[in-house]
Structure 1
Amino acid sequence: MKEFKFSPENKSILAQLRKMPIFDAMEPEQLAEVVKMGRIRRYDEGEVIIAEGEMDQMVFFLAQGSCTVQVEGLGVGVISKVGDVFGEMGMVDAEPRSATITAREQVICLAMDGSFLDQMKTVDDLASKGLFYRIFSEILAARVRDANARILKLEDELKDLSVQMPSI
């Protein structure tokens, strides 16, 4: 992993971040303040970004590339859209990481320590914190819906298998 301090003067990365739903509603001053607290990280193919079971509160905003998501060594998803957020659960609940995230190709992301919300100094820091927590809640709700759909599908497949299996 290579890490670079983010400079608010870097207009190309700032423009890329502006495309992310989590940042597009922020005023330019808010965005500049938030990203000043972050680091740009580059991961090479195969490099682990987050390791299951570790404790930290880093939150990542994908700017380029794609990642695999594994739980107990089993592939459960892919992170591939610019603006995808991962690692937010560690910030929300301060529990060990529930998955391993690995770069499928070169990945560039904005990495922020979860304490960045406590470090915000603007007049609108409460509004900014609320925005981040709302977005994190929306992300987690979407993941729960997806997990529920997967569970239902697996239950249906299991029922189909049990109907096809002769009794012994």
Structure 2
Amino acid sequence: MTSIRFLQDQALFGGVDDRAMAVIIPLLRELSFAAGEAIVGEGDDGDSLFIICSGSVEVLKASAAEDGHFEKRLAVLKVGDVFGEMELIDMQRRSATVRALEPVSALALSNGDLFTIYETDLPTFTLIVLNLARELSRRLRRLDDLAVHYMAMNTPAEAC
């Protein structure tokens, strides 16, 4: 099992004390995935977020192409990164496919587990949700930067 210290060093559990971590760790499910294996699929129902403990994954989004359907890589996530958090917040289907680039071990936290934390330790629940919001905000800022860069590249010279 992953150590309390490792988890506390990750953004999701930043600021969570040892006592609370001792309660959270039994809620986490350990999972392993082979290289090339899809961990979650775009459009699937989802009820868990994943924390990468070893390995790396790619996040893929479906996009239309003239010759059919293809996936575009949005990101590569590594040890300590979290994915699947959007489904815990908005309770919608998976927004992207996540595939292992190499053997991956991860910990999963379901929305039911998060609710258990809410019921038993409201301050820790609040901290975890705030950490999730911070991560989503960081991702949104990166997307804003990419959008501006893309728009600047596709603006005709005479429009400047």
- 1:5 paired residue number: none
CA distance in 2, matches of 1:85, 1:28: 20
- 2:68 paired residue number: none
Q: How does 1:97-108 map to 2 (within 5 A)?
A: 97-108=94-105
Q: Percent identity, aligned pairs only?
A: 27
TM-score, normalised on structure 2? Answer: 0.86
- 1:76 paired residue number: 74
- 2:114 paired residue number: 117
CA distance in 2, matches of 1:93, 1:112: 15
Cα-to-partner distance string for 1:64-111 (whole Å, 9 max, x where unaligned): 11100111011111101x221111000000011111111000111111
- 1:150 paired residue number: 146
Q: How many residues align?
A: 149
- 2:93 paired residue number: 96
Range with bigger deviation, 92-101 or 23-32: 23-32
Amino acid at match of 1:109: A
Range with bigger deviation, 91-100 or 21-30: 21-30
Are 1:19 and 2:16 an aligned pair?
no
Structure showing greater radius of gyration is: 1
Amino acid at match of 1:38: L
Mark the runs of 5 or more structure 1 residues left unpaired by the alignment. Answer: 1-9
Structure 2 contact 35–103 (Cα < 8 Å) conserved:
yes
Q: Once the 2 structures are TM-superposed, how far is the Cα of residue 24 of structure 1 from its aligned partner?
A: 4.2
Secondary structure of 2:80's match? coil
Q: Once the 2 structures are TM-superposed, how far is the Cα of residue 38 of structure 1 from its aligned partner?
A: 1.3
Which of the residues 35, 43, 59 maps onto 1:53? 43
Q: Once the 2 structures are TM-superposed, how far is the Cα of residue 26 of structure 1 from its aligned partner?
A: 1.9
